Structure 1
Amino acid sequence: MSSAEVEISRTKAWLMAARPQTLPAAAAPVIVGTGLAVHEGVFAPLPAVMAFVGAALIQIGTNFANDYYDAVKGADTDDREGFTRVTQSGLISPEQVKLATLVTFALAILTGTYLVYVGGVPILVVGLVSVFCGWAYTGGPYPLGYHGLGDLFVFVFFGLIAVTGTYYVQAAAVLAEPLSTTIPAGTVTREAIAASLPVAGLSTAILVVNNVRDKETDAEAGKRTLAVRLGYRASRLEFTALFALAYVVPLWFWLGADFGLGVLLPLVTLPYAAMIARTIWTRTDGEALNPALEQTGKLLAVYALCFAGGLVVL
């Protein structure tokens, strides 16, 4: 094999470990938070860009940590129906994946220094807790994903905190002095919190699909995800509730918060959501759920663009 072929194969292996198909979960909160910031007149481009870079690094670092710890703890086996894991398959050594995890989280912290300057102590606390929980999702003495807390982690950090935090750093850049020690007035609003709920719901739904697919192998490995604890029916009900949340929130913005008709634009994705839900309710195999996993990520991305666009236009 030539050196070029080796390099290409290693590049592909690192892309597999980074799981770029999960990046909609990092981009969607920034898109929605920025759309709301534009609507409210507090848009600040540099904080928005840095918020995305930080979120993407935390997402990738979490993916690296998940790949590494699932392999060394025996949760990833040859029987698993999901996408190839580079540590378990031997494509990249465990030591290299672990180092990549540490470097990626360190870069996330470095990126966050600018956001701390803009947003002050609240962003420092949120950023450090986010990085810690990204590692603790599968690492540490009490890995969140192994004890049924993964869904809550994603809902809070890739939904509530990510959207509200994106709005916060932009509003703080416009309305407050740098290095604030408290939360400045007007930087955390009920609209920002409400706007975070659809992103939280759809991001968590991605994890539900993943865990429904892996339910049997996770149970055998002792990985007590929420799907393992609840079973197929309750997990499907959770999935449906998360989707329902995403489509109720725009109605609240229109009827309860006096926003224009543009906020209803995400409803155009309902047929696509219904197609995905049908798969989740009828299948458990990787042949069906691997595409459903990617489709849910695409739904999150399109929904976020529609929601943000509706906020900006009307």
Structure 2
Amino acid sequence: MSRSATLADWVEGARLRTLPAAISPVAAGTGLAIFHDAFDPLLALLCLLLALSLQVGVNYANDYSDGIRGTDAERVGPLRLVGSGLVEPRRVKFAAFGCFALGALTGLVITAVTGWWWLLIIGAFSILAAWYYTGGSRPYGYSGLGEVFVFVFFGLVATSGTALVQTGFGAAVIGQCLLASTAIGLLACAILMANNIRDIAGDAEAGKHTLAVRLGERRARLGYLIMVVIAALCCVWLAGSTTWWALLSLIFCVVVAPGTRRLLRGAGGRELIGVLKATGIAELVCALGLLAGLLLGSL
């Protein structure tokens, strides 16, 4: 491209539309902490900073790794910095590592506040998983394991971690964390699935065998629906074990329903960009519904 990258290009490269996947687990986990009268604003804020830095870091890392492999040569979605030729790969790689460094520093502070040194191990695995999603010689995101990473780290680890560093490890809390983590993690996976359904043709041609590519278009669309339905059931189960106010989280079904209908009816290409955006908003609505409901139930 003939022009230089602007700040707006770097912001677009950070893919701010994906940030609900970082904010949502922290909101849901903090809701559980509030419900158990253990809310710690400092730890909640640190968890949010950690999640955001890793999310933006993995976005830049994906931009770099996919760009140098040529996976982004033909894209339907938003601009990619490396794939478009707008920014030198090494600069995008440096931006990714800078975000990971911020995440590592935040994790160190959380460890210092809680005194739980073993959190450093989880943090190290989180950063490695973020990089090797599309980085390295054998990226697991190219083998259909991307949803596993998202579920584990942006579902189980982020949601449960936010709750447990504030509440401790009571038996009741752990069970509720698993339900909240599953709901949030599956909605995050649905975001990735919608993205990968959109890119099935290009990914298959580039040798990127995402779960959507492996399942095929029809089964991938069904998989998206199953993720959304199970997430809703987990919200109901969580409400039954905490407070029925937590059913406010089900408002996400209203948000995600139109896009789900379009996806199941065969929407593709640029039509799925709207579905992707709606799924991200739905995850955030679910998390904020849990936060509000658990807050009301604690009063």
TM range (shorter): over 0.9
Is 1:104 aligned to residue 89 of structure 2? Answer: no
Stretches of structure 1 that go unaligned for 5 or more consecutive residues are 173-183
What is the CA distance between 1:283 and its match in structure 2? Answer: 3.2
Distance 2:172 2:140 in 1: 30
Q: Which amino acid aligns with 2:33?
A: A
TM-score computed with the length of structure 1 as normaliser: 0.90
What is the distance in 2 between the residues matched to 1:13 and 1:212?
25
Distance 1:171 1:17 in 2: 36
Report deviation, 1:187. Answer: 9.5
Matches within 5 A, 1:15-94: 15-77=11-73, 79-94=74-89
Instruction: Describe the superposition over 1:283-302 as per-residue Cα deviations: whole angstroms up to 9, x where unpaired.
Output: 34322101111111111111
d(CA) in 2 for partners of 1:94 and 1:149? Answer: 25
Q: Is the 8 A contact 1:171 1:187 kept in 2?
A: no
SS in 2 for 1:90: coil
Equivalent residues in 2 for 1:249-260, closer than 5 Å: 249-255=234-240, 257=241, 259-260=242-243
In 2 relative to 1, CA 249–137 (structure 1 residues): closer, same or farther, beyond 3 Å? same
Alignment size in residue pairs: 294
1:293 is aligned, of 273, 276, 290, to: 276
Give me the CA root mean square deviation.
Answer: 1.6
C-alpha separation between the residues in 2 aligned to 1:219 and 1:134? 22
Matched residues in 2 for 1:67 and 1:289: separation?
Answer: 20
Which of 250, 258, 264 is matched with 1:275 structurally? 258
Work out whether 1:241 is the aligned partner of 2:203.
Answer: no
CA contact (8 A) 2:25 2:181 kept: yes
Q: CA deviation at 1:271?
A: 2.5
The residue number in structure 1 matching 2:108 is 113
Matched residue, 1:176: none
Aligned pairs for 1:178-193 within 5 A: 189-193=174-178
The runs of 4+ residues in structure 1 deviating greater than 6 Å are none
| 3-state DSSP of counterpart to 1:89 | coil
Partners in 1 of 2:170 and 2:82 — Cα distance? 46
Separation (CA, whole Å) in 2 of partners of 1:123 and 1:187: 21
**Structure 2 Cα separation of the partners of residues 269 and 107 of structure 1:** 31
Contact 2:24 2:287 in 1 (8 A): yes
* 8 Å CA contact 2:25, 2:158 repeated in 1: yes
Structure 1's 304 and 19: CA in aligned 2 closer, same or farther, altered over 3 A? same
The alpha carbon displacement at 1:282 in A equals 2.1
Shift of 1:188: 5.8
Counterpart-to-counterpart distance in 2, 1:227 and 1:284 = 15
The answer to whether the 8 A contact 1:160-1:197 is kept is yes
TM-score, with length taken from structure 2: 0.94
Measured against aligned partners, the alpha-carbon deviations of 1:117-172 in whole angstroms (never above 9, x if no partner) come to 21513311111100110001000122111010001110111001110000111124
Q: In the TM superposition, what whole-angstrom CA distance separates every residue of 1:10-54 from its partner, at most 9, and x where no partner exists?
A: 101110111111110000000000011000111111011000101
**What residue in structure 2 maps to residue 143 of structure 1?**
139
Partner amino acid, structure 2, of 1:283: G
Q: Distance in 1 between matches of 2:56 and 2:49?
A: 11
Local SS of the residue matching 1:81 = coil
Q: Which amino acid aligns with 1:67?
A: D
Residue identity in the other structure for 1:93 = E
CA–CA separation in structure 2 for the residues paired with 1:119 and 1:242: 36
Shift in Å at residue 88 of structure 1?
0.9
1:54-97 deviations in Å (ceiling 9; x for gaps): 110000110000000001111111x3211111111122111100
Question: How far, CA to CA, are the matches of 2:252 and 2:170 in structure 1?
Answer: 35
From 114, 122, 125, the equivalent of 1:126 is: 122
Give percent identity, aligned residues only: 40
